[in-house]
Structure 1
Amino acid sequence: MMSSCARASVAVRASSVTSTTSKNMCGARRGAVRACASNTTNARFALLFDCDGVIVETEELHRLAYNGAFEHYDVRIDGERVDWVVEYYDVLQNTVGGGKPKMKWHFNQNAWPTSSLFPTAPTTDAERDALVDALQDQKTVFYKKIVEEVAEARPGILELMDEAIADPTIAVGICSAATKAGFEKVVNSVVGVERLSKMDVVMAGDDVTRKKPDPLIYNLAREKVGLPASKCVVVEDSLVGLRAAVGAEMNCVITPTASTASADFIGEGAKAVFTTLAGVKLHAMFPNEATEPNFKF
C-alpha cells in the first residue's frame, strides 16, 4: 500500500503548466512523427534506439509528472495521497512498460483510489479506464513542460545516431513505449526534427497494441526496415526494454541509468553493457564487410 512509502515533494504544480502542441513533420497528421528523407539504401544492419533512459534520462521527469497528476486530481488510497517515491518508481519502471499499464498495475496491486474525478473508487473497467486516461493526459501536460525546461541528450547518443544516419547501409529508428504526446516532445526537443526526418522508423507506444516487454514494437520495426532480427541491434536501458528486444530475437546493448544499473543485463541476454555511449563508434559495431554485428570492442 502507498501508506508504506514516505511522501516526496512534487516539483510540478498545475498552476505552472501550460500545454504545448506537437509539430507536424513532412505532412504527417497533427501529433504524428514519421520519417520522410531516409538516407538508407541496401541496408546491411539496423540500429534501433529506445527513447526514455537511452536518448534522455527521463525517468525522474516522468516520476515528477505522475506525482503532479496525482496531486492535480487528489488521487488517494486509504486517505493518503498517491505519491511515487524514487525507490518505488525504480522498481515500477523495471517491472511494467508504458504509463497507463504502470498506473493500472499499481492500483491493482494496492487499491483503486478515490479522486476528484471519482469520489468513490472506480469499480468498473470503464470507470477505471476513464480515470487512468485522465491521469495520463494530465501527466503528459506536466511532462512536456518539464522536458521543455530541462531535458538534454545523454553523452554520445546523438553522435552515434548521426553516424548511423550518415551511413546508407545502416537503417536507423527510435522505438519507445512512451505515450506519443510525451515521446514527441522529447524527440522533437532533443533529437530534433531534421534527424527524425532522416530515420527509417519512428514509433511510440500508441503505435502498438501491446507495450514492452512485449516484442511487438520491435517486430514491427523489423518489418519496416526489411531486415532479419539477427541484423538488428537495439539500444535499451532497462530490463523491460531488453526483454522486448530479446523477445523479438534481436541483439541488444544496454546503456543503463542509475536506477537500472544493478540489473543482470548480461544474464538476461544483452550482448554488451556500456556505461555511456560516448566513444562508441558505429564502425566498431558494424565493421565494413561484416555479416554480423560486433560487440567485442
Structure 2
Amino acid sequence: MLLQNRCAAAAPGRTVRAAPLAAPRSARSAAPARRAAVAAAASAKPTAALIFDCDGVIVETEELHRRAYNGAFEAFGLTVKGEPCEWPTKYYDRLQNTVAGGKGKMKYHFSNNGWEVATADGAVAEAGRDALVDALQDKKTEIYKRIVEEAAEARPGVLELMDEALARGDVALCICSAATKAGFEKVVNSVVKPERLARFDLILAGDDVNNKKPDPEIYNTARARLGIAAERCLVIEDSMVGLRAATGAGMHCVITPTASTEDQPFCEEGAAAVVAQLAGPNYRVRLDDLFAPCPSGSGETVVNLQGMANMEGNECVVQWNANSRLAKSAAA
C-alpha cells in the first residue's frame, strides 16, 4: 500500500520525528515483499520521477557563486553610483531567493540602482547594458569554474540517493537547474561525475528553457519529455524560487534548505516536507521513503512522501505541510 505505515499529519510547522532505529514488526514482515517489488521494477519503464535542483541541493554553491560574481565585478572595475560593486552575503542571500539566473540577478540589481553603472572604461550607455551583463556573466562563469574545482563537494546523502534510483528502473532520475549550462556542467561533472550522469534520464539547464525559475517551465519541460504525470514527480529543492517552480508545475517538493534559506516559510508555500539534509549521523533518506507501489495494484510506482515520517532505522526530523494532498490522504 502507498501508506503502509499510516500516521496522522502534523499541523503546519510542527516537527514529526521518524521511527527509531528498531523497525516495527509490520515493516520487518513487509520487507521481503518490498524487496521483490523493487527487483521486479529494476527492468520496468519509469512511472515516477526524482528530480534534483543543482545549486544548493546537490552542492552548496551559493557562496561560491557570490565570490565568482564579485570577482567578475572586480575584474571589470565595476561601480554602481560611483561605488565599487560588491554583493555582501546577506544581500546575496535575499537576491538568490528572489531572482533566478545570473543575468537576471544582475539586471535586477542594476535596475534597482537606476542603471548608474560604470566600468573601468567609463559609464555604460543604455545600448550597452545587455552586452555588459553578457560579458560579466562570461567572466563570472570562468571564475566560478575555477572555484568549483577547488571547493565543490556533494551535500550529504545526495549521491547515495541518486545511486539507489539508478539501480532501479521504476523511478526516472533527472536534474533541472536554473544555472547556465557552462557553469552547471562544471559542477555536476566535478561532483556527480560523468559516468554517473550518463545514466540519468534527463538533464536540463537554464539555457534549455525560455523562462527561469520561479516560472515552472523547466519542470513542465521535464514532465513532458519524461512522459510522467506531474503528481508522480518529486522535486528536491532548497529555495523559495525553486519551490514555486516545482509546485507551479503541479509536482511534489521536498526542501533541503541551506544556511541562507533555512528561515523561509516553505510549508506555508506548499512544500510537502522540509528536511535539513538527505543524510546525517544517524539517518539517510532512502528511495523507499519517497516512492512506493501504487495502492491500486497496477505495479506502477508513485510518490510516497508520507513514508518519510515512518522511515525504518531513521532519526530524521521532517516538517509536514498538513494541507498537502498526501498529508490529507494519510489523515483520512
TM interval, shorter chain, is: 0.7 to 0.9
Separation in structure 2 between the aligned mates of residue 289 and residue 248 of structure 1, nearest angstrom:
21
Per the TM alignment, residue 289 of structure 1 is displaced from its structure 2 partner at its CA by 4.1
1:94 aligns with 2:104: no
Report the RMSD for the aligned CA atoms in angstroms: 1.2
Q: How far apart are residue 110 of structure 1 and its match?
A: 1.2
Give 1:295 deviation, angstroms. 1.6
Query: Are 1:40 and 1:171, in contact at CA under 8 Å, matched by a contact in 2?
Result: no
TM-score by length of 1: 0.84
The partner residue of 2:113 within 110, 113, 122 is 110
Q: Is the 8 A contact 1:46 1:233 kept in 2?
A: yes
Q: Which has the higher strand share?
A: 2
Distance of aligned partners of 1:73 and 1:107 in 2 relative to their CA distance in 1, 3 Å threshold: same
**The one of 276, 291, 297 aligned to 1:286:** 291
State TM-score, norm by structure 2. Answer: 0.75
Q: Structure 2: any 5+ residue segments left out of the alignment?
A: 1-41, 296-300, 310-332
SS of equivalent residue, structure 1 residue 243: helix
Query: Greater relative contact order (Cα 8 A, min sep 6): structure 1 or 2?
Result: 2
Output aligned runs, 1:16-95, within 5 Å.
41-95=44-98
Per the TM alignment, residue 165 of structure 1 is displaced from its structure 2 partner at its CA by: 1.2
Distance across 2 between alignment mates of 1:40 and 1:192 = 24
Choose 1 or 2 for highest CA Rg: 2
Q: Deviations over 1:177-232 (max 9, x none)?
A: 00111100000000000111001110111111111011000000001111010000
State how far apart, in whole Å, the 2-side matches of 1:161 and 1:77 are: 43
After superposition, residues 119-268 of structure 1 pair within 5 angstroms as: 119-124=122-127, 127-268=128-269
State the SS of the aligned residue for 1:114: strand
C-alpha contact 1:77 1:111 (8 A) present in aligned 2: no
CA separation of 1:148 and 1:40: change in aligned 2, threshold 3 A:
farther
Assess if the C-alpha contact under 8 Å between 1:175 and 1:218 holds in 2: yes
* Closer/same/farther in 2, CA of residues 80 and 169 from structure 1, 3 Å limit: same
Letter in 2 for 1:54: V
The one-character-per-residue Cα deviations of 1:138-158 (angstroms, maximum 9, x if unpaired) are 000000000000100000000
Alpha-carbon shift at residue 121 of structure 1 (Å): 2.5
Structure 1 segments unaligned to the other structure (5+ residues):
1-38
- Please name the residue that 2:22 is paired with: none
Q: Which amino acid aligns with 2:88?
A: V
